[in-house]
Amino acid sequence: MPRAAAFFDLDKTLIEGSSAIHFGRASYRRGLLSRRQLVKDLWANVQFRLRGATDEETDLLRQRVLDAIAGHRVVDLARLGPEVLAGILPRVYPQMLEVAWNHQDAGRPIYIVTAASQEIAELLARVLVFDGGIGMRSEVDDGFYTGRPDGPFTYREGKAQAIREVADREGFDLSESWAYSDSESDLPMLRCVGHPVAVNPDTALSRVAREEGWQIVTFDRLRRRLRLTAGAVALGGIAAGSGYVAARLRPSRRDRMWRALRA
């Protein structure tokens, strides 16, 4: 009998912000990335968190990653894993982990589907106890990265293609499966399953989700903080607004417990 599965985008869906910046920081410390490029990536990360990424920006990021790793040993980049995880894991949304694990407990395998590298996707899948990770594959020759892609880019239609390939291989019924994402760019991924969910959606995805009656989940802390602050400034009460923001953003008991467990 066909089974259902659940597929989760990574950036701004499973984690707050972008995973790419943590790979960039680790690469910079290992001498694989210049300080100038790191600063550009930091700014790009802020912009991504506020408004998402355009197709052109994502394509440039993909090519930059491929160029950066060209000629490097696979084992050397694998050794970046602990430092990359140190940046990503504190930004995992505990709420989304519970959603994912609930699917798993109900018998639905769970997968990370991301435009980040296959190595990052698989590493996070192991650490977060997912059933698999699907990411961008880079060509390897004799233990070295060539700087060329090895398969479709897992972005836009590429994510949907990857999901369909997994479904065919594992016997999943996509009409009974779930997908979670924050971005309009993942509409192909969301529309290839029977149960799409918009998580911290950008403006375009939020509009589509409302029109099509999809579930919407929102809890991105940075965006909420900026919106509350902007509202306080508009009212002319910066000081009062700061107190209001602090009160609204005070961590719940559950959040404090989660942070204590991660400490």
Name the residues annotated as catalytic.
9, 11
What gap in Å lies between CA 7 and CA 179, rounded to an integer?
5
Tell me the β-bridge partners of 136: 117
Q: Which of 3, 10, 89, 93 is nearest to 48 (CA)?
A: 10
What gap in Å lies between CA 64 and CA 53, rounded to an integer?
15
What gap in Å lies between CA 241 and CA 252, rounded to an integer?
20
Q: Which of 152, 199, 251, 145 is nearest to 8 (CA)?
A: 199
What gap in Å lies between CA 219 and CA 200, rounded to an integer?
6
What gap in Å lies between CA 89 and CA 16, rounded to an integer?
10
Buried b (16+ CB within 10 A) or exposed e, 33-63: beeeebeebeebbeebbeebbeeeebeebbe
Q: Distance from CA of residue 207 to its chain's centroid?
A: 21
Query: Which ranges of the chain would DSSP assign to H, the alpha helix?
Result: 20-29, 35-51, 55-69, 74-78, 81-88, 94-105, 118-127, 157-170, 187-191, 203-212, 221-234, 238-249, 253-262
